[in-house]
Structures are given as C-alpha cells and as structure tokens.
Chain A
Amino acid sequence: DIVMTQSPDSLAVSLGERATINCKSSQSVLYSSINKNFLAWYQQKPGQPPKLLIYWASTRESGVPDRFSGRGSGTDFTLTISSLQAEDVAVYYCQQYYDTPYTFGGGTKVEIK
C-alpha cells in the first residue's frame, strides 16, 4: 500500500497569512505516460463531510477559491492557502489515487493564531 505522510499535524496561522501543508507518498504517484500526479486534497470542517479542493495535484475543483493551490510531483506535494481566512479552519487531507487501496494522509489541522 502507498503510505501518505502529512506534516505538520497541526498549524496555527494568523488571518491573512500563508499556510503550507506537506504531503509525502511512500512511492511515486506520477503516472509518467500521461504526466499526471494522482494526488488530491480535501478539506473537512467540523461536523461536515470532506470537500474536494484539488486533484491531479494542482487542478482546483470548481468553486474552490484561488487562494488554495497545490503543487509537487512524484512523492512530494504541498497545499498552500495564500491568505488564510476564518472559514479555512479545518482539517486537510491528501489522498493518492494512483492505485488501490486509495490512501489518505493523517490530516493537518489548521487553526487561527
């Protein structure tokens, strides 16, 4: 199974400041023949189901604010919130869909400092 490791476990950022979450996979999730990374990011607010933010490592889902961006390739990925808003308080998960079993990272809790 591909193990997804996120860091940090939690972070506190001031409103308007940048938040960066890291995700590392135990093996590459880049499908080189199509040059696509099979990596997605989800946001989960308390008491709510997860919400898809980004897939193919950097493609923003429709309706997701452009302050959310994803980058990386192979085994190392980041999710950046360029200017943290109060409504961004949540747990963020990365997920690989390169192979089954699809696996999620342990989550990163983002709070307001």
Chain B
Amino acid sequence: EVQLLESGGGLVQPGGSLRLSCAASGFMFGSYAMGWVRQAPGQGLQWVSVISGTGGSTHYADSVKGRSTISRDNSKNTLYLQMNSLRAEDTAVYYCAKDLTGDCLGVFDFWGQGTKVTVSS
C-alpha cells in the first residue's frame, strides 16, 4: 500500500525557514517523480514543485522559485522541500504527491494527508 507521510510544518515568522519532509513507503520510491502541491485555507490547489525519480530534474512555481529547494534521498525513501524567506502567502497545507512516472509528468496518483504551514508574526 502506498503511503506518504508529511512532516515539518508549523508556525514560523515571516522571513523564516522550514524544511518539509515526506516519508514514502509501499512503492519503488526512486522510480517515481515526486511533487509538492499546496492549498491555502479555503482555497484551491497550487502546484509548488516537482523532482524526477533520479533527482536530476526539478521544476518550481514562480511563487517559490529562488526561495525553495526540492530534493530527495532515495536511500531513505524521503522527499524534502526546504522553504526560505517565508511569507504570509505561503500559509497553506502542503501535500506531498507521487507522480505517475519517473519523469516529471505532473500527474499525481497518490497524495499524503498534508502538513500545515502557517507564516505569521
């Protein structure tokens, strides 16, 4: 059974940093691209970032580019999102999601339950 368990969310002050983690199990982690999608309170879905199965290819939404870094450790079956210079508009539930393929196709067939990030003073 595919499982994705996010952690690392919390309350952070504007300008602060957080590292989100996503522990994966139940599939060949290194064979699939992985992504982050966020949802602000009461709002729709916004794609954040994606990384290929090997980690050799990454893409970011403009809203986080230059402030965030997606990475993965295939030996630990774990996905990360390092977020810096956080702003109030980064407040959201962040979902980790598995891509259908090893390349960055962008179709997400399994999602975690999400971790909540609140940026506030």
Contact = CB atoms under 8 A, between A and B. Distances in A.
Interface in A42-87: 42, 44, 49-52, 55, 61
A92 B45 CA distance: 11
Contacts of B111: 49-51
B114 interface: yes
A52 B105 contact: no
B47 A104 contact: yes
A97 B62 contact: no
Given A102-B47, A107-B44, A52 B108 contact: yes
Interface size on B, as a range, is 20 to 34
A40 interface: yes
B59 interface: yes
Contacts of B109: 52, 61
Contacts of A97: 105-107
Interface residues of A, number: 23
Interface in B62-121: 62, 95, 100, 104-114
Nearest to A62: B109
Given A50-B111, A100-B50, A93 B95 contact: no
Contacts of B45: 42, 44, 50, 93, 95, 104, 107
B46 interface: yes
B61 interface: yes
A107 B47 CA distance: 14
B8 to A, nearest CB: 17
Contacts of A95: 45, 47, 106
B114 A49 contact: yes
B62 A101 contact: yes
Contact of B106 (A38, A93, A107): A38
Interface of A: 1, 38, 40, 42, 44, 49-52, 55, 61, 91, 93, 95, 97, 100-107
The 8 closest A-B pairs by CB, nearest first: A97-B106, A49-B111, A102-B47, A100-B59, A104-B45, A102-B106, A55-B107, A107-B44
12 contacts: A38-B106, A44-B45, A49-B111, A49-B112, A49-B114, A50-B95, A50-B111, A93-B44, A97-B107, A100-B59, A100-B106, A107-B45
